[in-house]
Amino acid sequence: MKFFSKRSIHDVKLNLSREEILRRSRILVVDDEKPEIINDLKKARFSVDYEPDITKDNMNIVDQSTYDLVLLDFGNVGKSFGADEGLSLLRYIKRVNPAIVVLAYTSRALSTTHADFYRQTDGALAKDAGIAESLEKIEEGLKKAHSIDNVWLGLITLAGIVPGSEEDERFQNMLVKGFQSKRKLKTFKQNMLTLLENGNAKTIGNILITKLIELGLKAILGI
């Protein structure tokens, strides 16, 4: 039976419908100038919030991991996280929750040092992208955010496990086997949580584990 032969998380494929992706997703736009595309996203039934910047005062919205996708500008944002503006903020977001999909929302030809902004984001949306193009890119990003592969990668990054390592494979095996038994699933969760540092990492880790289990069960058992 195919179900029992599954050992790798990458074999557990899930295709969420557009409706389901819309229902599950929350988007955050961080840009010093409020882009009009926000209204178009809302019209297309996306759940979108807007912040002109993330500072030490409102960083809890990143820490709580409420968002699946962040549309992030480079200039004039994130200065309270470092001199590299959007790149400093991006590093913070990815450190808190590596599973959040971040799209670079800028058209600046960034310098060599700042080109990491494009390297570390999950994709780029040009400042002059049209409405249809923007919706398409964001939808693709959300699909990625709710993919099992992405959530898994985020979780192991948070836990300090090297992708492709023996430990990665061991945990994948444990989780996939866990989809058959509640007891094994509990063992997986306990073992994974011991790898996560206390505090926010544990909270985010818990969120990602819950999401993984939900997506995995949906993929395998359709529940």
Partner 1 sequence: MATFEDVAALSTLPIINLKEISKPKDGLMLPLCLTCHKNFNKGSKCKEHYLALVKLDLSQPKILQCPFGFASIAFSIDYLKCAITGFVPYPRLGGDEERNQNKRYPEAKTTQRNLYALLNALRQTFLKLDKLQGDIIKNESMALHEIRKLNRTIKQTAERSYDANHTEDLLQILKTSELMSKQFDVIEILANESLVQLPTNTVSEIYKVFDKCVHIYQPADARIKLSGQPGYYPKVMVSDKTFPIIATVLIENALKYSPSGSPIAISVEKDGDACAVKVSNIIASNIKLEPTVFNRGVRASADIDGSGNGLYVAQLIAKQHNMLISVQCSTETNGSLTCVFSFRMKTI
Q: 42 or 186: whose CB is closer to partner 1?
A: 42
Distance CA 9, CA 41 (A): 32
User: Least Å distance between CB 134 and partner 1?
Assistant: 9
Nearer to partner 1, 115 or 221 (CB): 115
User: Is 129 or 217 the residue whose CB approaches partner 1 more closely?
Assistant: 129
CB of 127 to partner 1, least distance (A): 5
Contacts of residue 1, Cβ cutoff 8 Å, sequence gap at least 6: none
- What is the smallest separation between the CB atom of 119 and partner 1, expressed in angstroms? 6
**What minimum distance in Å lies between the beta carbon of 104 and partner 1?**
8
Nearer to partner 1 by Cβ, of 40 and 63: the residue is 40
Distance of closest approach, residue 17 Cβ to partner 1, in angstroms = 20
CA-to-CA dists, residue 203 to 22, 27, 29, 150, 193, angstroms: 24, 20, 23, 18, 9
Nearer to partner 1, 45 or 186 (CB): 45
Query: Could you identify the residue written with the tokens 């002059």?
Result: 128
For strand 69-72 and strand 48-51, is the pairing parallel, antiparallel, or unpaired?
Answer: unpaired
Kindly state the DSSP code that residue 165 receives in the 8-state scheme. S
CA angle 141, 130, 50 (to 5 degrees): 60
- The residue ranges that bind partner 1 (CB under 8 A) are 36-37, 40, 75, 106-112, 115, 118-119, 123-124, 126-132
Which residues lie across from 124 on neighbouring strands? 104
The nearer residue to partner 1, 109 or 223, going by C-beta atoms, is: 109
- Nearest-approach distance from CB 21 to partner 1, in angstroms: 17
Neighbouring-strand partners of residue 69: 27, 101
